[in-house]
Amino acid sequence: MVEPIKKSTKEDREKWIKDAKYNLFNLKSEQVFVDLLTDSGTGAMSDRQWSELMLGDESYAGASSYYKMKAAIKTILGFDYFLPTHQGRAAENVLFSTMVKEGDIVPGNSHFDTTKGHIEIRKATAIDCTIDEAFNTTAIHPFKGNVDINKLEKVLQDYPKERIPFIIVTITNNTAGGQPVSMQNLKDVRTLADRFKLKVIFDSARFAENAYFIKIREEGYADKTIKEIVKEMFTYADAMTMSSKKDAIVNMGGFIAMRSEKLFKEASVFNILYEGFITYGGMSGRDMNALAQGLNEATEFDFLDTRIKQVAYLGNKLLEYGVPLQVPIGGHAIFINALTFLPHIAREEFPAQILAIELYKEAGVRGVEIGAIMADRDPVTRENRFPDLELVRLAIPRRTYTNNHMDYVAAALKNVFDRRDSITRGVKILNEAPVLRHFTVELEKL
């Protein structure tokens, strides 16, 4: 299906973003011309997915749609047990309610904001063990999302086993720039976890994109199909959380999948409490059908090749214009280094946020800040946290925009880049929530 998008004037946008308290989440979608806020739930479903919607079984218990989803998870990902949830963070909520307690330590590679939120709200601590290369946007590394095995080993040695419920590996590593994790690294994490008798969970929102990069970049995988690579990846995990709004190409949905019947039974209690009965858990039957079909399509090489090359098309254009980006270009999005783009803006004035505002004002393109606002305050000291990277992300929805839209976005960003010296001040926070503040923060321009 196609949907219209609406042009606006710079004057319109200046008023709208001011009324939105300079928070791009507060804009109405019709005030946005090209919406690159997220690739989550914003993809276009295929003809076969739409057909599956018509076959949805909405029975409360034991729906055929549940069994369709179960079969897809077993065939494609290899897990025997699963629980549907309404989206990825709900999967985190259910699983972490089962496994994480106060005082725990959860090591991983750049935990996503909701993942970290669900850890910190339980008074546990997320420790980032991503390789150093990820924090240098110009460093070239084929698997910049990797876990640093030495950093991880140190965490496992420093804390007692009882306080580490699991290691979480995010594939691809969204926060570091949609960067993949190599098969070797997944294997190494598994080996280390086995040595310390610990569980490994994959945060799998973009697992298919990760498999694509393994096929393209890692020795020994060029001749394997995406589905074969996916199957192997998950052999190194005990369980996974999934936001199906990404690599299952549905508008809403998620799940937890696991090998252990015991964990399944324990998590079922929280699933029923927070999401719904175990055979629908927050999803409609029709959506479970579309999800099962989406898992199949997202693990086809041609789909991934087209998608990832479109992201690279935009990225390469921006690199030609001299815009500083996280390279190599990742799977689902372009990540602009705001510290290099606007070096004269103090970190306390949130340079990535002002850059996202300026891009919106320039051309109605909506991106998102992945920097100090998103990083929240330290839960103990309540001081602002300034992460190593201060980025603006332009996420590309799946099967939605054409390369003509990418040209438009690139030209808009070039215009902002050319006048970057005229952007002299950032923003100040007026109001903020105690966690996940970036969604609702209210700002003032300095």
- The residues that are catalytic are 60, 112-113, 203, 205, 246, 438
To ligand F0G, the closest distance from the beta carbon of 180 in angstroms equals 13
Smallest gap from Cβ 82 to ligand F0G, in A, equals 16
Question: How many other β-carbons are positioned within 10 Å of the β-carbon of residue 54?
Answer: 8
| Minimum CB distance to ligand F0G smaller for 199 or for 332 | 332
Quick check: 201 and 148 in contact, CB under 8 A?
Answer: no
Tell me the residue ranges of DSSP E strands in 268-404: 333-337, 365-366, 368-370, 391-395
Cβ-based nearer residue to ligand F0G, 104 or 203: 203
Please name which of 40, 95, 41, 87 lies closest in space to residue 240, comparing C-alpha atoms: 95
**3 state SS of 256:** strand
What is the number of other CB atoms lying within 10 angstroms of the CB of residue 244? 33
38: three-class secondary structure by DSSP? coil
Residue 423 β-bridge partners:
none
State the Cα–Cα distance between residues 134 and 142, nearest whole angstrom: 11
Structure tokens given for 379: 């839960």
Rounded to a whole number of angstroms, the CA Rg of the chain reads 21
Q: Residue 333 forms beta bridges with which residues?
A: 395
Q: Which two tokens stand for residue 371?
A: 């920097």
CB 236 within 8 Å of CB 201: no
Residue number with the shortest CB distance to ligand F0G? 88
Q: Which is nearer to ligand F0G, 328 or 331 (CB)?
A: 331
Element (H, E) at 444: strand 442-445
Report which of 276, 277, 299, 287 is spatially closest to residue 252, judged by C-alpha positions.
Answer: 287
Closer CB to ligand F0G, 245 or 366, in the complex? 245
DSSP SS3 for 203: strand
Least CB distance from residue 203 to ligand F0G, whole Å? 5
Tell me how far, at minimum, the Cβ of 333 lies from ligand F0G, in Å.
Answer: 8
Nearer to ligand F0G, 203 or 358 (CB): 203
Least CB distance to ligand F0G at residue 291 (A): 12
Residues that bind ligand F0G (CB under 6 A): 38, 40, 87-89, 112, 114-115, 170, 174, 203, 205, 243, 245, 254, 395
Residues β-bridged to residue 35: 366
Please state the closest distance from residue 28 (CB atom) to ligand F0G, in A.
18
Residue 73 vs 345, nearer CB to ligand F0G: 73
